[in-house]
Amino acid sequence: MLEALLKLFGKKEPSGKVAHNRLKVVLIHDRANVSPEMMENLRNDIIEVISKYMDINKKEMKISLADDDDSVALVANIPVSNMRHEKRKDDEPASKN
C-alpha cells in the first residue's frame, strides 16, 4: 500500500532510467530465450500450484528473470494473503474406478 502511495505522490524515476530498466529486462529475456507467452504460461502454472497451498494476490504477483554474469535466475514476488491448512477438495485427484 505504501509503495503504491509513493508511486502516486513520490518522486518519479527519470525517463532515461525507466527506459534503461526496460531494455535490461528485454535483454535478459532475449538472452534466456524466453518468449512472453512462455513467461505467461510459467506464471499461470506457478499460480495453479501455489494456490493449492495458499491464497495469493495474483494482481500484485510479479515474476521476472534476473541476469547475473553467467546465469539467469527466475525471481518471483508473490504476496500471500492466507495459508491453507488443508488441500482444497477440487485439487484432489479423481478416483480410479
Out of 23-32, 33-42, 76-85, least confident range? 23-32
Q: Where are the domains of the chain?
A: 34-87
Average pLDDT score, the chain = 77
**Kind plus residue range of the DSSP H or E element containing 36:** helix 36-50
pLDDT per position as a tens digit, 32-73: 677 888 889 999 999 999 999 999 999 999 988 887 767 778
CB-based contacts of 58, cutoff 8 Å, min separation 6: 47
CA distances from 5 to 19, 35, 77 (A): 22, 32, 19
pTM assigned to the model: 0.55
Rounded distance, CA 44 to CA 23, Å?
24
Query: 2-6 long-range CB contacts below 8 Å, 24 or more apart?
Result: none
How big is the CA angle at 57 (ends 54 and 59), to the nearest 5 degrees? 150
